[in-house]
Every structure is written in structure tokens, then in C-alpha cells.
Chains A and B, each alone.
Chain A
Amino acid sequence: MMQTTTNGVGKIAQSDAATLAAYRKQVERLPVTMRPSLNQQLAAWDSLFPFEQRQASAFLNGLGSLEPSALDAMIQPLRTLEAKMGVEHWNFSQAGDTMENASMLARSQYYAEWRDEVQKIFEAVNAIARDSASTASKHPRLVLIVLPDSLPVDALNVWKPWDRRAQIFKIAGDSRRVSELLIQDHADQPGIGALLARQGSLESSDMWLIDADSKLNSIQSSTGGQSAFSLSYAVLKPFRDKFLAEVNTVPKNIEATDQTLNAMRHRNWEQWWPAELAGQDQLRHFVVDLFLSGNGALIFSNAFVEWAASEALRRARPRVIVARFGLRAKPKPFTGIAIFENQQQISALPDVDDPEGSAVDALMLARYIWLAVLRYPEQEQTFGLCISEHRNSAYLIAPEGTTLPWGPEHAVTPEELSAGIGRYLSTLAV
């Protein structure tokens, strides 16, 4: 098996070009349609989060451990399928994922079979990689979702339940204190950043603060200990505006769109990137990818919060995510039909908040963040907490085997809540 040079958190040293070259050779052993995403990761290796690097390394090392005959047997069904799909006649990029690639795959009548075969290969190789890797420690984790006072949610479980383990608690006191108590350091209780630092967490990607406004920034600024990735939709405004203007120049043509989006991915955005986030190249790459992947991240602050949290979970598997939703404006008269345009630029009318609509959006998207948590094995150690400041209540999902010190009939103070979560995060990894 290939050996990799790693630093303390599993990153390949940047100078280890030989390792990346060896990885590229492994990718070439795979069927054509599996190559783009892996090649894209290798091409942008330094912008990957430690978790992504570990994951890709494990997969490619697992692949490297396979004898040619074993690999051939594993990938033959996919190769046969690719031949039936006519992939060799496609304008299929192997360098990276493109809209044209996705479009050609999705249009094939064999698309569902193709997905199944790719999944089988990933699972088989990952199983080999897991067998040869040491078991990762299971750190306690937290996902804190804040629905601020400005969002008049009816009830936290108004639609479908998030999780069968969930319980709703009334908060005795000011629920706006919960996020402050958890994030900031206090004399009697360290903030979650400091708790992570005590446990040896060294990476910014272990803790994310994602905010529709810039409230979390201001809370975090007084904390010490663990540095965090902090993304604020409001702070990103100049960058977003520039990005949106560029996205809206994309022609209605897949090939040309791919070219434009690829150019945007590699463009130097330094002059529009917020000064507060200067030097955070990894985060900038993340945001560029986030915006290029759509899902409303450029349009609505709450979609930004949900999609950023979901992508952070997928790509970085952080120990802590704090996601705070906010208000969006009502679509403006007349210009509401062009919702993908910068509403502030194309309409001189002032923004008018839509609290009811924003609350509906935020509640749905808060649930989506929790459902994203459930997609990954780390969910077993994840404590979920959603605070509705408007209702002064908390929706709480404790990991299996965790006993809450309060019953559902008990009104919990912000101090009790934050202390309980602090205790959970302080437990040792197993």
C-alpha cells in the first residue's frame, strides 16, 4: 500500500507531489465516469479540508492495495455499462465535474444503474480502506441551530418531526443567551471553542459559525481558544454581489456555462473577499464552490445558511456547527419575477422584511440541517439543539445513551442548557 506523509491532522504535506502523482495513477485505474470528481479533488488538494483529504487518501490507498485482477473484477460491470451508455463518444471531462458531464449521465437511460454501480465500487474500496485503517475516535459533537427572535415560528415541530429522539423544552429566561453562553468563554464555563482546544482539536474546520446576519461574529469576537470558520451572509455581501453579477452572465448553453463557471472557480477573488476573512483561502474556496453549486446560496440568506452547513458537514465533518437563520425581504413588486437578480440593484424600492415567510423557510431548512447530520456516521455522537428565540423554546436531540438532566416538563434556564451541552462536549472521545 502507498505510504502518505501526514502532519498531525492527516494532511499530506504540500510538498509531497509524489504522493499526489501516485494518487493520480490510481484514479486512472478507475472507469472514466469515476475519474472527474477524484481528479478535481487532487487538483485542488490544498484547498480540501483535513477530513476530505483523509477520506480521499483512504479511498485511493484502498484502491492501491487492490491487485489488478481484483480491481478488474470489481469495475468490470461499470465498464460494461459505460460502453452501453456510449461514454466514449461523449464530450466527457475527466479533469473535473462539469454540468455537461452531469447532464449526459442524467440523460442516459442507464443512469440509475450507473449510480448503483459507482456506489458499489466506492463501498467496496472504502470497506478495504476501513479494514486497513485504525478506528477513528468518536468525538462528541454539537449542531446548534438558532431561529432568532425575528422569526415568528408557530412551533418547532409544526410539520414533520426531525428525529424520534427529539424533545421540546421551554426555556426559563432569555433564550437569546444560549448561543452567547455556548460560544463565549465565561469564568465558570469555557466556550465550545475552548472546549475543543482542550481536547486537542487544532483545525478551524472543526468548528463553523454560519450566520444569515453577523450576530455570531460579534459573539465570537470576544472568545479565545479554538479558531473557527465563521461565515456571515451579511459580511459576504460585496463578494456575493460581484459573484451574482458574474453568474448572471452565463449563457443558456451547457458547454459555455461550464467554461464560465470553471473560470469563476479559478479566478482571483481577493479584492472582493471580505477583509475580515483575509488569508482564509480554504474558506474562500469553500464559498466559491458553495455559490457555484447553486441551491439558493447566492439568493436567500437562509438557503445560504442551510447549504453552507450541509456542505460543511459533508466536506469537513466538524465537531461543532452553529447555524443562525434570519430574515429575507419580500420579493419586490414587478422585479420579483426575476428573483435570481440582485433585487437591491434592479429595484430602487426599499426592502420589506417577510418575517412569516422567512420563518417558514427557516424552520424547513433548520430541519434539513439536522437531516444532513443524519447522513453521516458521526450523527451517533452529535447533540442537536434548535433554539426558537421567538417561542423561547428548545428542540433537543440527544445521542443514544445520553441521559438529559431535565424532563420535558422542566423549563430549562439558558445556563443549565449550556452547562449540560458543555459537559457533553467535555466527555472524552471513545
Chain B
Amino acid sequence: MDETRRNLLKATAALLVDQWAGARLGALANEPSGGVGRKVVLVACGGIRREDTFAESGFHNIPHLYRDLLPQSAFFPFVRNAGVTSHYNTTSSIISGNWQRVDDWGKTPPQSPTLYEYLRKRMGLRQDQTWLISSNKALTSKIGASTARDFGPAYGANVIFPKQLLINAVVHAAAAGRAVHSTDRSTVQPEIEAMLNSDNYDGLGWSVSGEDSSLDKLTLGTMQQAIEDLVRTNAPATGDEFTFLVATEVLRRFAPSLLTITFSDMEVAHFGSYSLHMAGISTVDRLVYELWNQLQSLPAYKDKTTLFVLPEFGRDLDGSSTNGFFNHRQNTESTRVTWMMCLGDAVRKAQIIENPIEQTDICPSIARLFELKNLDLPGKAIPGLWL
């Protein structure tokens, strides 16, 4: 992405988070809360096959993950998704440590407590210390807290869908019969502004309740300028890029103890373009590398952060009746077995750990990183980490 474009997206991301911070009356990164030392960033990135990534046939798609990060990571080449291979169920299974079998479109929350709830309840963390920032429109804000007794929304995470903000703006402009033109500032821009000024964030997936969400005049003016510039640019937009930039703003301003990011550009595979699917994988490769570098540059994170990166699942086999890479619903190794990379604080030494693990092992492992004990979770701690 060209630098001008990136700066514009960055400015918009910053303003989005500014707005949130304004609503929250200034919980900023230089005022860390909860006395938590260790930090965890968990990145889940859509459906990616091993053969398109960590395999001879796929290394060229992930130069940063393979060349730059693998040599310093604990790498798990056999990570099983033994649950429902849909986005909502998989993500909520990872963050709750239990295989969730709820409505695929996020109508109901996870049925067992999430890491966010454990952290906030047991450690007394504020809501701004646990976040889920997602590109995926299959998720809803209900994923931030469970229906479990003694837990629930009071202990839930902040959940944001930055990409959905942009999509909604485009869709609303289209629905109103206004074509988006790179030089036409009167189209998408008002849609985005209207949404940012809306009192109801639910449509955007913002997990905000009760606060006044309107922008102050100064922020609004800057926002208008940023969005105007954003729409006037000609470089292709990627939703994951915007999600990444919002996530880095959240890291800078709130320094949360636990941040989950889900990327989804590669999910264009559902529409049958293999080249765009590959482009999505390349974007994630680059963004994860940039994220790791960001974490090393932020004092709140340097030397105390563990980064987990994994696909939610693979994709179906070529030649399957489910149409191969388009989908992710086959009960095969291609769909169920993925990989995971761990970097940073908890990594004992760079190594490849071939013992198979399950995605539900991630939650108890992260819980142990935070010294949360006696959780009723079926998974076991992941080997090769200081836990």
C-alpha cells in the first residue's frame, strides 16, 4: 500500500479510537490499569490452508512469517480445530477454551466464559484492558462475553469491527443510489460520518452501552478531513489494513492486557478468486510482521508480550464436493488442521513443536500466562512456553 494511502487510513483509525477514548473519558495507555505485567496479543486469520502457507508450495506467500518470524518462534505445525469450522464458533471456541456450537451468525454469545471475562473478573481489569478487533463480518459484538452464570457482559471485552464501518458506508451510499467516485467527496464520506455520530454503535459492532458516543467538534472536523482524503485516494483499500491500524491505535492508547485481532481479507475465497485469496494471505503476512515490530517498539509491550498467530481453520480440499478452497466445512485434515506461531515473552526457545495440539488448548495457556488458576477448562497447556 502506498504511503499516502496508509497515512490516511492511519489518521482515520486514530480518530476512531479517539472517539472511543472520548466516550470513555480518557483511559490512556500511559495510565495502565490492573497491575498486569504480561501482555498477550492473539491474531486469528480466517481460513488458510497449510499448503498455501507453511508448506513448500506456500512459503512464497508468507515471506515474513517464514523468513523473519519463524526463526524466533515456537511453531506448532499441527493445530486442530475439532469444533464447528465457522468463523463465529471457531473464534469463540479459541477465546473460551470450549468448543462452542452456537448460532454461526453470532446471534447468541459463547456459552462458557471467555478469556476476557476470566481476566476482568479475576484480575479486576477495566473493560479497556481486553479487546477484540475484527475484520470479519460473520462475528458480532456478542462474542465479547458469554452467557455463563456469574460472568457475562459486565466482564466482557470491547469489540470493534472497523472494516464493517467502511463497508456499511459504501453499502449505504449504494443503497441511496450514490455511486462512489474517487473524486466525489459527497458520497461515502457522509455515510461514515453519520455512523460515527450515531448513538447506536450496535450496527457497527461497537460493544458500547450507555455512553454518549457523539464526537466533539475538534475530533469531528479532523475526522471529516481524514475521511474525505481517504475516499479521494485511488489505492485499493483492504479491510484488514484498516483493522490493523485501529488495533495499533488501541495498543498505543489503551495498552490492553489482552487484544484479539481477527483478519479476513483471505475470505474473498468464498467468491472464488484464488488470486485475491492469495493476496489476502500476503496482507496478513505483512500485517503480522508489522504488528510484531510495533509491539517491540511500544514500551508497554516490549519484552513482556506473547503474540499468538493462527488461522481459524484451513479450507476444503481441491476436488471436494464443497468446492475446494471456496469453503471451510469439510471434515478433513485440510480444513481442520492448521498451524500456530508463538512469539515473544512466553517462548522458551525457537523451535518447532510437532506434538499435535487443539485450538481449545490456547485459552488455558493464555490463562496460565496471566497466572489464572483453577479454571474449569478441558484443554491442556501448550508445550514449549513459559507458563
Contacts and interface: CB of A to CB of B under 8 A. Distances in A.
Interface of A: 103, 106-109, 111-112, 115, 159-160, 248, 252-254, 294-297, 299-300, 302-303, 306-307, 310, 314, 328, 330-342, 345-349, 354, 356-358, 360-361, 364-365, 367-368, 371-372, 374-375
Given A296-B326, A349-B181, A334 B171 contact: no
A181 to B, nearest CB: 30
23 contacts: A103-B104, A106-B84, A111-B331, A112-B331, A294-B270, A299-B272, A302-B272, A303-B273, A303-B326, A306-B272, A307-B323, A332-B180, A333-B236, A334-B233, A334-B237, A338-B170, A346-B174, A346-B180, A349-B181, A357-B275, A360-B275, A361-B272, A375-B321
A348 to B, nearest CB: 4
Interface string B264-278: 000010111111101
Interface of B: 57, 84, 86, 89, 99, 101-107, 140, 163, 166-167, 170-171, 173-174, 179-182, 184, 188, 230-231, 233-239, 242, 268, 270-276, 278, 318-319, 321, 323-327, 329, 331
B265 to A, nearest CB: 9
Nearest to A354: B275
B326 A374 contact: no
Contact of B272 (A112, A333, A365): A365
Contacts, number: 154
A115 B322 CA distance: 14
A183 B272 CA distance: 28
B320 to A, nearest CB: 8
A360 B281 CA distance: 15
Nearest to A368: B324
Given A107-B84, A333-B233, 16 more contacts: A107-B102, A254-B107, A295-B326, A296-B271, A300-B272, A310-B323, A331-B276, A333-B234, A333-B235, A334-B180, A336-B236, A337-B170, A341-B171, A346-B170, A364-B274, A368-B323
Nearest to A340: B271
A127 B81 CA distance: 35
B274 to A, nearest CB: 4
Contacts of B171: 248, 338, 341, 346
Nearest to A342: B174
Contacts of B107: 253-254
A346 B173 contact: yes
A356 B163 CA distance: 27
Contacts of B181: 347-349
Contact of A349 (B182, B321, B324): B182
Which of B182, B231, B235, B238: most chain A Cβ within 10 A? B182
A25 to B, nearest CB: 29
Nearest to B271: A296
A302 B166 CA distance: 27
Contacts of A335: 170, 180, 237
B167 A337 contact: yes
A108 B274 contact: no
A109 B93 CA distance: 14
Contacts of B319: 368, 371-372, 374-375
Contacts of B99: 109
B101 A109 contact: yes
A330 B174 CA distance: 19
Contacts of B237: 333-337
B102 A345 contact: no
